[in-house]
């Protein structure tokens, strides 16, 4: 992983452009995710959509990954491979997508419900997404990497959930994965100090049960050790004028699903 690279405002705008194409892709997919659809179909729709926006799928070929989307249903945590198995009522599915445009990457993820899910799973999703914003609030001038991780861990563990240790968020820019690593666990006041111009992907991966995971023989798929469900949400955020600025948005998803949601408004500080 490359060392921390601070970005100019011009570079941040290019990351925002790539990130917004991911946001729109997830918004398009929100209309397609229903019982009966296969993840290979979603993958093909996403690839066409990204190319229609004069961009490249950011994951395809990265470290040898064979697809556009990482699709991780139910007990899969992240990095699941699209396949021909239809989604069914009651599933949840994390869809993680990357885009490369103008030599800069965007990368974020949302966990969707398929039909009706149990109250227990609804709460896991609610808490995991809330923890993402709790973490983002700590991404501010002179705070440190450990402040973000501590805030996410403390909140999620108060619900008895498992915070995945083996996979972490990251810096993003001309590479998909740059420093610093952004764990979803940690100690206050520890780790690299945040400075204006940093751009990161914060991405809590939170399990209903144990935090422990299994790595599968396909070299990609990661599941929870107890096979209980796992949730994953990710945003891209720049530090501008000391404050976190969201470069990605879930609002295209909410538009598709007919949901009114103002959760992102506090993170739109920077006006161009």
Residues between 178 and 217 with contacts to Mg ion, criterion CB under 5 A: 201
Of the candidate spans 79-87, 179-187, 214-222, 231-239, the one that interacts with Mg ion by CB under 5 A turns out to be: 231-239
Q: Smallest distance, Å, CB 85 to Mg ion? A: 22
Residue 55 as a binder of Mg ion (CB under 5 A): the answer is no
Could you tell me the smallest distance in angstroms from the CB atom of residue 237 to Mg ion? Answer: 12
Nearer to Mg ion, 19 or 223 (CB): 19
Which residue, 125 or 226, has its beta carbon nearer to Mg ion? 125
Q: How far is the CB of 110 from Mg ion (least distance, A)?
A: 10
For residue 56, the minimal CB distance to Mg ion (Å) is 16
Within 3-42, which residues bind Mg ion (CB under 5 A)?
none
Q: Which is nearer to Mg ion, 17 or 258 (CB)?
A: 17
Judged by beta carbon, residue 87 or residue 201, the one nearer Mg ion is 201
Burial class from Cβ neighbours inside 10 Å (0-12, 13-18, 19+) for residue 61 reads exposed
Whether the CB-CB separation of 101 and 85 falls below 8 Å is answered with no
Of 30, 28, 36, 41, residue with least CA distance to 83: 41
Nearer CB in complex with Mg ion: 49/159: 49
Four-point Cα dihedral 208, 213, 216, 219, nearest 10? 110
What is residue 232's three-state secondary structure? strand
Q: What's the min distance (Å) between Cβ of 159 and Mg ion? A: 23
Task: State which of residues 96, 138, 147, 178 lies at the interface with Mg ion (CB under 5 A).
Answer: 96
Closer CB to Mg ion, 40 or 62, in the complex: 62
Q: Are 182 and 168 in contact (CB under 8 A)?
A: yes
Task: Measure the CA–CA gap between 38 and 46, rounded to whole angstroms.
Answer: 13
Q: Among the candidate windows 5-13, 17-25, 141-149, 229-237, which touches Mg ion by CB under 5 A?
A: 229-237
Report helix, strand or coil for 142. Answer: coil
Residue placing its CB nearer to Mg ion in the complex, 35 or 219? 219
Helix axis angle for 39-52 and 9-30, nearest 10°, is: 140
Token code pair at residue 56: 């490249």
Question: Rounded distance, CA 96 to CA 78, Å?
Answer: 8
* Binding segment (CB under 5 A) for Mg ion, from list 91-99, 111-119, 178-186, 212-220: 91-99
The set of residues, in sequence order, having a beta carbon less than 8 Å from that of 113 and lying 6+ positions away, is 91, 92, 121, 122, 125
Residue of the chain from 107, 138, 147, 245 that contacts Mg ion (CB under 5 A): 107
Residues that bind Mg ion (CB under 5 A): 96, 107, 109, 201, 234
């Amino acid at each position: 992983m490359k060392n921390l690279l601070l970005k100019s405002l011009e570079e941040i705008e290019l990351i925002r452009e790539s990130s917004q194409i991911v946001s729109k892709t997830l918004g398009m997919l929100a209309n397609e995710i229903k019982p009966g659809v296969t993840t290979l179909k979603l993958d093909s729709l996403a690839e066409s959509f990204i190319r229609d926006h004069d961009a490249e799928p950011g994951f395809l070929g990265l470290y040898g990954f064979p697809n556009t989307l990482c699709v991780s249903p139910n007990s899969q945590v992240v990095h699941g491979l699209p396949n021909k198995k239809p989604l069914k009522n009651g599933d949840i599915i994390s869809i993680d997508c990357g885009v490369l445009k103008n030599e800069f990457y965007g990368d974020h993820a949302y966990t969707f419900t398929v039909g009706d899910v149990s109250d227990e799973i609804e709460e896991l999703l609610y808490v995991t997404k809330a923890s993402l914003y709790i973490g983002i609030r700590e991404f501010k001038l002179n705070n440190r990497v450990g402040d973000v991780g501590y805030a996410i861990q403390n909140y999620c563990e108060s619900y008895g959930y498992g915070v995945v240790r083996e996979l972490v968020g990251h810096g993003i820019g001309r590479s998909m994965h740059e420093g610093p690593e952004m764990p979803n666990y940690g100690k206050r006041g520890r780790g690299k100090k945040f400075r204006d111009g940093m751009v990161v992907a914060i991405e809590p991966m939170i399990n209903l049960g144990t935090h422990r995971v299994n790595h599968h023989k396909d070299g990609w798929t990661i599941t929870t050790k107890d096979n209980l469900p796992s949730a994953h949400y990710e945003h891209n955020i720049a530090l501008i004028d000391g404050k976190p600025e969201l470069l990605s948005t879930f609002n295209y998803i909410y538009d598709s699903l007919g949901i009114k949601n103002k959760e992102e408004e506090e993170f739109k500080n920077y006006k161009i």
